[in-house]
Amino acid sequence: MDINRILLPAVMMDKSAINEIINCNELTSRYGLTLSQTAALKLVETRAEALSSNGRIEFSGGIINKIILAFSNSPFLSQSNYSTTLNELIEIFYYFKNETLDEISDDELISLMKKYFDQSCQGSIELLQNRELVALAHNIRYGISDYAGLCEDTDEAFDEEIFDE
């Protein structure tokens, strides 16, 4: 049975997704961040590509809105890098849903991404992807209870230097 064969109304889903993204502008405009119709469409396309390349399927409205709303108050986002960053965040999100073995919820992953992005990564997508989220995924795979590395003193938390070796 080919599941993709029955998932026909993607166009319908896309339309409503774009509308939902545009509606977010009302809330994000207070931070000087807005998305055009074209940018919204690009986000939806990025999501479709990320889902496909990571072998995932999404049914509800998805996480684009959640990412937009979570990241809109980041001091490292401006109108000039807003759209590009969102596209990258969407790609990273689905990649790490797989890498974290679906062990953490959408909301928790987004909230951790935002926390790392604003704090330890200082707005760097590369550090977020290659350092913080790799460590998070490693900790989850090895069953470390403080997988998010929030308790600095814990011995079992992932050690960056050891991992780099």
Partner 1 sequence: MNNLERQHLIKRESLNEAEYFLSILQEASRLKLLTDSKLESIQLQSIELLAGQTELYTGGESSSVKTETAQSIMQSIFYNIGVYLKSFPDPDMSLEAIKQKPLLELHRHGRKLVEKQIKSAVELLGAIRNDSIVTDNCAYNDTIENGISVFFSAYNADFAAHDTPASIDYPLSNDKMDLAGIEYIYNYLQKLFLENRFCKNFTGHDIHCLLRGYDDRYQDLLINIFGIVLTNVVGSVLAGKSAVQLNIEPIDREYLQQKLANLSKEKLDTRLQEASTQVCKELGISDEPLHEHVAATVMSLSAGFKRALENDRLESMFISFKENLSQPLILFEDGVQMNDELFRNITDEIRECRYVSDKIVIIQREIHSITDLIDLLEGYSIFDDEYAEIFQSLGDMELALLMKKSPAYMTDPDFLFEEDEKEWQSMLSCFFNDLDSTRRESIRELAGKIGIVTS
Q: Which of 41, 51, 134, 144 binds partner 1 (CB under 8 A)?
A: 51
CB of 164 to partner 1, least distance (A): 29
Window of 23-31, 80-88, 100-108, 146-154 that interacts with partner 1 by CB under 8 A: 100-108
CB of 3 to partner 1, least distance (A): 5
Are the C-beta atoms of 32 and 79 separated by less than 8 Å? Answer: yes
Nearer to partner 1, 68 or 157 (CB): 68
Rounded Cα distance, 24 and 149, in Å: 31
**Interaction of residue 94 with partner 1, rule CB under 8 A:** yes
Rounded Cα distance, 114 and 30, in Å: 19
Give the three-state DSSP class for 67.
Answer: helix
Span between the terminal Cα atoms of the chain, in Å: 44
What one-character-per-residue DSSP string does 88-106 give? Answer: HHHHHHHHHHHHTTT-S-H
Window of 4-12, 123-131, 134-142, 145-153 that interacts with partner 1 by CB under 8 A: 4-12
CB of 24 to partner 1, least distance (A): 16
Q: Which of 11, 26, 30, 57 binds partner 1 (CB under 8 A)?
A: 57
Q: Which of 63, 90, 92, 136 binds partner 1 (CB under 8 A)?
A: 63
Rounded Cα distance, 1 and 99, in Å: 26
**Interaction of residue 11 with partner 1, rule CB under 8 A:** no
- Give how far Cα 12 sits from Cα of 18, 27, 38, 100, 161, Å: 10, 25, 17, 30, 47
Nearer to partner 1, 133 or 157 (CB): 133
Give me the residues that bind partner 1 (CB under 8 A), please.
1, 3, 6-9, 51, 55-63, 94, 97-98, 102, 105-107
